[in-house]
Amino acid sequence: MANKRSHIFSGSVYEELAGYARAVIVDDRIYVSGTVGIDFSTGNLSPDPRAQTETALDTIETTLKEAGSGLCDIVRVRVFVPNPDHVLDISSVLKDRIGFTRPANTTVCSPLAVSGAHVEIEVEAIRGSGEIIVG
């Protein structure tokens, strides 16, 4: 049985330039590309690490909804942060927004390709996995 693969595009010029999609969907798995905190209404980065994290998660949430999913279905998070001093602020926002799902998480301190970005987040989600079973 072949896997069904589809894509979600945001319309960013970089998707075409670099040959990637905002998200790739294979069956019930959703892989969302690295997302920075750009406010699409202004085209600017949000002003600080916390605001950029909120904005990036808003974009991720919109992408997941388009894929028939939501933040509750996130099973894996990768966070890239250029300044280690911002890790706790960024982690606090992640806990508030998606901590209830307890996804696997990796946080890496690394330079980012987008100048002025304080955080880049990529996630993997599995549609329908949001029901938490404690045990």
In the chain the domains, ranked by start, together with CATH numbers, are 5-126 (3.30.1330.40)
Convert the pLDDT of each residue in 41-78 to its tens digit. 888 998 899 999 999 999 999 999 999 999 999 999 99
- Output the CA angle 125-127-129, nearest 5 degrees: 85
- Model pTM score: 0.92
Convert the pLDDT of each residue in 87-98 to its tens digit. 999 999 999 999
Report the half-sphere exposure of 20 (CA within 13 A, side-chain side): 10
**Which of the four pLDDT bands, split at 50, 70 and 90, describes residue 14?**
confident
Cα dihedral 107, 113, 117, 121, rounded to 10, equals: -40
DSSP string, 65-118: HHTT--GGGEEEEEEEES-GGGHHHHHHHHHHHHGGG--EEEEEE---SSTT-S
**Which of the four pLDDT bands, split at 50, 70 and 90, describes residue 115?**
very high
Cβ neighbours around 62 below 10 Å, total: 14
Longest dimension (CA), the chain: 48
